Amino acid sequence: MKTDWVDLSFQLFPGGSFGEFNLPREFSTVLSHGKGARLYDVYGKEFIDVSLSWGSVILGHAHPAVTEAVRHQIERGSSFSYVNDVALRLAEEMVRAIPCAEKVRFAASGTEATFYALRFAKAYTGKSKILKFEGAYHGAHDVGVMSLFPKRLLPYPLPEPTSAGVSKTVEEEVLIAPYNDLETTQRIIDRYSDELACVIMEPLQRCTPPMVGFLEGIRKITKERGIVLIFDEVVTGFRLAYGGAQEYYGVTPDLAAFGKALGGGYPIGAICGRAELMDRCTEANLGQEGYVWFASTLAGNPVSAAASLATLGELRRPGTYERFHALGRMLREGFKSLLEELRIPCQVLGDGPLCQVAFTDEPVKDYRSAFRADRQKGREFALGLFREGIFLNPMGTKLYLSRAHTDEDIGAMLEISRSVLRRVFP
């Protein structure tokens, strides 16, 4: 009997998905393979992929250099849970590339990386509160989902958990500030400075760029008050620039978390930063005050490390980042002129190879201004694109471009967008 793949996926996976890919059943599909900037489903449909495994596959699917490095490594063993030459080479490259990196610990995902960064900050300062920006995502742990998609828009700094099952204690520990609002953030930091261990932030929050002086301001206040600054570079790392957002914006945090693009499509996470903080997890200190427990069975596995080294090798090729920025600009400017031509009020967000469209005539600078956009139209647009063969996550609607995308792909996406927009805004 022929398998009905979508039926089976709804039978076996809650919501027919792996999580946070909120497609209605009639849009759902099951993928079979990917190559370059294309994904293919089991029914033979081809998509232009702008989800890129949520940004992981920065060179495109099944890049020959990455595939070859993985093939070579799997013959030599897949995981040792111990220091190995491949992971060591990777750490060396990270320290070379990332301004804040003096030491590195590997993890298996971005969630794990930010989780540990927060723990390091608390252990180092002996304080327990965390300041997070409204609408930022730092992974699936309790802190990461605090005020991720808040609906009640409580007064700052009160958090609103986006998931049930979150610890009450964590809720009490997290303070929420508005991104790009230095004055309000400074007021919260001043008020809680004695209890505040760290500020964690996406330097480019989702697709909203930092306003002039915002990152510098946060760096200055945190440094003055002995508060650890964590950059969550899970999205921006190796994407905005080889040295991540910290190189791109010229602001160096104390700790940074990486994932996604670092692994080139293979599971990885990494925390790096000042040695003084990172050394908290030295095992010889077990049992002593301030010791950070750190363990992750598959962390530093040589297959992901080999994929990562191959990916970074490709990213270091001359012209890569110029190309990423040019591609992103082409898509953003294409959207701007298209939406202007169709007289649809919108803001086109993003930087580097990232792009997002918000249907509002108000400039988007933080979660609340994005929240006021016409999100219903946004969803109809995303689903329309999906139906027409553009593979994107309709939850976030952040579009990721890879090294494999061509100018023709951008042209095709804009053409498809034109017809979808005409239907969504008749």
Number of residues forming the site for ligand PLP (CB under 6 A): 13
Residue 34 or 263: which CB sits closer to ligand PLP?
A: 263
| Annotation says 232 is catalytic | yes
Verify binding: residue 394, ligand PLP, rule CB under 6 A: no
Quick one: the chain helix, strand, coil %, rounded to 5?
40, 15, 45
Residues with Cβ within 8 Å of 134's Cβ and at least 6 positions away in sequence, in order, are 147, 150, 156, 176, 177, 178, 179, 366, 367, 368
Near ligand PLP by CB under 6 A: residue from 120, 137, 335, 381: 137
Residues 6+ away with beta carbon under 8 Å from 186: 217, 221
At closest approach, how far in Å is the CB of 203 from ligand PLP?
10
Q: From the candidates 103, 127, 129, 260, which is the catalytic residue?
A: 260
The amino acid present at 250, given as its one-letter code, is G
> Which residue number has the CB closest to ligand PLP?
110
The H or E element containing residue 124 is: helix 110-125
In the region spanning residues 170 to 209, those forming contacts with ligand PLP, defined by CB under 6 A, are: 202
Within 8 A by CB and 6+ apart from 246, the residues are 98, 99, 100, 203, 231, 233, 252, 253, 256
Beta carbon of residue 147, minimum distance to ligand PLP (angstroms, whole number): 14
Q: Which member of 16, 60, 139, 243 binds ligand PLP (CB under 6 A)? A: 139
Catalytic residue (choose from 116, 124, 137, 367): 137
Q: Which helix (H) or strand (E) holds 315?
A: helix 302-315
The C-alpha atoms of residue 203 and residue 264 are separated, in whole angstroms, by 21
Helical pair 407-424 and 375-387, crossing angle rounded to 10 deg: 120
Determine if 114 is a binding residue for ligand PLP (CB under 6 A).
Answer: yes
Range in contact with ligand PLP (rule: CB under 6 A) among 217-225, 227-235, 272-280, 288-296: 227-235
Residue type, 196: L
User: What's the closest the beta carbon of residue 291 comes to ligand PLP, in angstroms?
Assistant: 25
CB of residue 371 vs ligand PLP: minimum separation in angstroms? Answer: 18
**Residue 138 touches ligand PLP, criterion: CB under 6 A:** yes
State residue 312 phi and psi, 5-degree precision: -65, -35
Residue 181 annotated to the active site = no
Question: Quick check: is 407 catalytic?
Answer: no
Q: Which stretch binds ligand PLP (CB under 6 A): 33-41, 69-77, 110-118, 416-424?
A: 110-118
51 near ligand PLP, rule: CB under 6 A? no
Q: Of 28 and 393, which CB lies nearer to ligand PLP in the complex structure?
A: 393
110 binds ligand PLP, rule: CB under 6 A: yes
Q: Strand ranges (DSSP E) for 54-202?
A: 103-107, 129-133, 174-177, 196-201
Nearer to ligand PLP among residue 40 and residue 106 (C-beta):
106
Q: What angle do CA 222, 225, 226 make, to 5 degrees?
A: 80
Q: How far is CA 19 from the centre of its chain?
A: 15
Residues with catalytic annotation? 137, 232, 260
Which residues here bind ligand PLP, judged by CB under 6 A? 54, 109-111, 114, 137-139, 202, 232, 234-235, 259
